[in-house]
Amino acid sequence: MPDHPPLTGGGIIRRMVRRNTGRLSGSFALLCVWQLCEAVVPILIGVIIDRAIAPSDTTAFLVGAAALCLLMGTLSYSYRFGARIAYAVTQREEHALRMEITAHVLHPRGARTGMLAGETLSVATGDAQAATQVLRWIGFTVSSTVVLIASATYLLSIDVVLGLVVLVGVPTAVGLSQLVSPFVARRFSTEQQAVAEASGMATDLVQGIRPLKGIGAEEAAGQRYRRSSRVAERAAVGTTRGWSAMGAITKALSGVLLAAVALVAGLRALDGELTLGQFIAVVGLTQFLAEPVELVAHIGAQLATSYASAKRVAAFLATPRLVPPGSQQPRPAAPYGLKLDGVGGGRLQHVDLHAEPGELVGVLVDDPATSDALVDLLTAESEPESGTVLLGGTPLTDLAVDARREILLTARHHVDLFDGTVASNVDPRGTLDDDTVRALLDTAAADDLVATHPSGLARPVRVDGALSGGQRQRLALARALAADAPVLVLQDPTSAVDAVTEQEIAARLVARRHAAESTRVTVVITSSPALLAGADRVVVVAEGRTVASGQHTDLLDRSDYRALVLR
């Protein structure tokens, strides 16, 4: 289960607001000053007309012009710094949310998200960005609401009917426009999900392009992605239509409202109840009010879309951990063995596997899915339904995560390389000297990666680079050996290399990890005759059960063993 009570979409938004209360308050205050100054501009122009231009008062005109310049400067800088603060808060919160998602994925206990890499990336980018945009819109909504109230008050002071038109018309226009908000939110949530799935499939296809080419499945894979991409496209178009509908409704309603205000003001001016300056002020103020009305009208949809993304982020952060926490510490400075006694669960029915200190044990499994289930147990990503898995005499899942990883390293068959160099992929922490890295590459029969390249250990490596499957496997094997774990489990480490290279790896692996008086344990899940021949003992698992154990040469007398090894 998660380490903390799961957040909700609303909880994420409230948390962002709560921990930025001071900055947001300053931003909102400056944005209110900006909007109020915007509203005062036409009013001041009206005053200048009535008190300076109409009576031809030069002094009053100069004072009014100076006041207008001061007002414009205040307007400009208040928006500049208010918006800057809001953008800074939004960027910081977006970054914090991305880091929280990243920390959840990279937690020592892992995360059982069930998502492809591209989907996770979409949550960490698109959803994190959308969730934080509400912080800016809250500021615009607050400032727009303040200026609408102030404008209505001013209009009431001039004419009661004008003020009432604004006080009644604005809430009506905003309320009617909110009818579209749920539609926009649903469309946006669908769009984000579709984009995430398309991104996940794209990442998966790029990573698997070599196998796809190998089996000639490029066209089928391309069709699958095209279908997924079209779903995302339709969802994006639907969201845009929703926003367009909201914009159209808002503009139409605000246009009717402002036309009504202008009509009333025009009639009052014709009747002589408004001066020329007051009429110009009302018309200018009416034109300005279109913007705050639209900003207030959009807050519902913006809040709904931010909430939808925040909800997706919260659901992601609530996904359970892969492995249990554990609390026990291993016995200090003791040789560690690995024992599976009567282990069952899922595809495993009854597996017995004992690897004592100093042994290299080969495990021959008849089914890749069973092999994966066994590896899941040894990484503590699943717990046995029956039997026990003991590491150094302690149940594996009872050990603290850090202690477990210090003792036991499990290298899966799937190879992940990272952008960098050969050296950085073998030794990500950069703690080993060049000679040690070369020795590790030699053990994995991967010394040709540096011997045949002018950059040597600095040879560039990319995630989607030109390394063959066998080269990638050997590089990953060298990285696993670099950890020098007391107990090392390798799953099919040589399935993509030729038989001669397998023989070299088997001999060098024994020489490196199992020299005289070594207490290291190595478990190799493989069907390679070379690796099995170099093992001290071979355990055969068929149909989820341990069916045989012994030396490779002795087990060759069994027909089922020969069928698995010599195929």
Residue boundaries of the structural domains of the chain: 9-317, 338-565
**Half-sphere exposure at residue 1, Cβ-oriented, CA atoms within 13 angstroms:** 3
Q: Residue 272: exposed, middle, or buried by beta-carbon count in 10 A (0-12, 13-18, 19+)?
A: exposed
Asked whether 261 and 162 are in contact (CB, 8 A), the reply is yes
pLDDT tier for residue 358 given thresholds of 50, 70 and 90:
very high
Q: How far apart are CA 127 and CA 121, in angstroms?
A: 9
**pLDDT the model gives residue 3:** 46
pLDDT score of 213: 62
Classify domain 338-565 by CATH architecture: 3-Layer(aba) Sandwich (3.40)
Cross-strand pairs, 542: 545
Helix (H) or strand (E) holding 489: strand 487-491
Q: Report if pTM > 0.75.
A: no
Q: Which two tokens stand for residue 216?
A: 């000639």
Query: What is the separation of C-alpha 540 from the centre of its chain, rounded to a whole number of angstroms?
Result: 41
Q: How far is CA 175 from CA 178, 253, 285, 300, 318, in A?
A: 5, 10, 22, 10, 35
The residue with greater pLDDT, 452 or 427, is 427
* 393 residue type, one letter: G
The confidence band for 415, taking pLDDT boundaries of 50, 70 and 90, is: confident
What's the average model confidence in pLDDT over 393-404?
Answer: 88
pLDDT at 338 (0 to 100): 94
- pLDDT of 136 reads 87
Model confidence at 244, pLDDT cuts 50, 70, 90, reads confident
Q: Tell me which residue has tokens 């246009």.
A: 255
CATH 1.10.3720.10 assigned to domain 9-317? The reply is: no
Plot region of 430 (φ>0 → left; ψ -120 to 50 → alpha; else → beta): left
Q: Which of 348, 387, 327, 358 is nearest to 542 (CA)?
A: 348
Residue 212, pLDDT score:
62
Q: What is the mean pLDDT of residues 256-264?
A: 79
Contacts made by residues 153-156, CB under 8 angstroms, sequence distance 24+: 154/39, 154/43, 154/285, 155/261, 155/282, 155/285
The pair of three-digit structure tokens given for residue 411, joined into one six-digit string? 């290298």
- Residue 251's alpha-carbon distances to 145, 329, 487, in angstroms, are 17, 67, 69
Cβ–Cβ < 8 Å for 221, 201:
no
244 touches 261 (CB < 8 A) = no
Which of 31-35, 190-194, 206-210 is modeled with the greatest confidence?
31-35
Tell me the average pLDDT of the chain.
85
Q: Looking at residue 4, what is its pLDDT?
A: 52
Contact 306/132 with Cβ under 8 angstroms?
A: yes
Rounded CA separation 390/42 (Å): 80
Can you give the pLDDT at residue 209? 63
In 133-217, alpha helices (H): 134-158, 160-177, 181-207, 209-215
Structure tokens at 361: 């044990």
Per residue in 198-232, pLDDT tens?
766 776 666 666 566 666 667 777 787 788 788 87
